[in-house]
Amino acid sequence: MKLQKTALIAGASGLIGSQLLPLLLASDRYAKVIAVGRRPLPMVHPKLEQRVLDLDQLEQHRMALIADDVFCCLGTTMRQAGSKEAFYKVDYLYVVKLAAVTATNFAAQFIVVSAMGADAGSRIYYNHVKGEMEEAVRQTQFRAIHIFRPSLLLGDRSEKRTGEQIGAVLLQVLNPLLIGPLRKYRAVQASSVARAMLRAAEDDGGGILVHLSDEIAAKYEPGR
């Protein structure tokens, strides 16, 4: 028997989100997939409903954000954002607002992409913001919260990030040398993270679970 659940995804145009959206649409678990973003996606699918809205006004669109499972793939870089304030808005405020709004709509699960090294006490701004985001999301009322902490992501981006491209090449060369405690620093495919996110939702568990980069790679990239 097919389940008639609704999935909501924010950040579907990004590296992980663009891998996750087709998986959600293909899954028998979902009868409807709501994609939330500032611009429409260049695709049409019988299950797909697009919500083009201002992420600053999420609270005003609460009734358009009703779903069982919420997948948050929002994220940017300091360079892309242009300032600490703009980065904080995307990687903290929008994520926490989405969690708060969908929790009040009685969503069951919140599945969010964070980052390896996320720590509210970190002196590194990126890690600090990711850590603060995680702490805030943990306070929201879902049956299950899944936090994914990937290392550097591999995959084809719609926009080019020179620094990450160089880092990805270097890490692919170094990956075999990163063993033992260093294994967690290995780069991971965005497609693997997307598959792990869907699987986490399908488990229909409870509580707060953190999924680490090396664990994701070990499960979805065997023999790497």
Structure tokens at 30: 């979902």
- Residue 187 — very low, low, confident or very high, per pLDDT cuts 50/70/90? confident
Percent of the chain with pLDDT over 90: 79
User: Given this model, what pLDDT does residue 117 score?
Assistant: 94
* From 13-17, 36-40, 78-82, 148-152, the region with the lowest mean pLDDT: 78-82
- Does the structure show a pLDDT above 50 at 85? yes
pLDDT (mean) for 123-149: 97
- Does the structure show a pLDDT above 80 at 182? no
Classify 5-220 by CATH class: alpha beta
Query: What is the H or E stretch that residue 79 is in?
Result: helix 78-81
pTM: 0.90
Closest-CA residue to 72 (of 96, 49, 39): 96
- Residue 177 — very low, low, confident or very high, per pLDDT cuts 50/70/90? very low
Residue 80 to residue 96: CA distance in whole angstroms: 20
Local structure of residue 176 (DSSP, 8 states): G
pLDDT (mean) for 124-149: 98
**Helix 125-138 vs helix 95-104: angle between axes, to the nearest 10 degrees?**
10
Neighbour tally for 178: CB within 10 Å: 16
Closest-CA residue to 152 (of 181, 124, 112, 189): 189
Phi-psi region of 115 (alpha: psi -120 to 50; beta: other; left: phi over 0): beta
Q: What is the pLDDT of residues 33-44, one digit of tens each?
A: 999 999 999 999
CA 109, chain centre distance (Å): 13
Structure tokens at 150: 């990937």
**Helix 190-203 vs helix 15-26: angle between axes, to the nearest 10 degrees?**
40
pLDDT (mean) for 126-143: 98
Residue 42: C-alpha distances to residues 48, 67, 104 (Å) = 12, 22, 30
Structure tokens at 101: 């709004």
Residue 56 to residue 176: CA distance in whole angstroms: 43
Percent of the chain with pLDDT over 70: 85
Q: What is the pLDDT of residues 15-61, one digit of tens each?
A: 999 999 999 999 999 999 999 999 999 999 999 999 999 999 999 99
- Does the structure show a pLDDT above 60 at 165? no
Local structure of residue 92 (DSSP, 8 states): I
Phi, psi of 16 (to 5 degrees): -75, -45
> Domain extents for the chain?
5-220
Q: CB–CB of 142/108 below 8 Å?
A: yes
Residue 224 to residue 222: CA distance in whole angstroms: 5
- Residue 222 — very low, low, confident or very high, per pLDDT cuts 50/70/90? confident
User: Given this model, what pLDDT does residue 161 score?
Assistant: 52
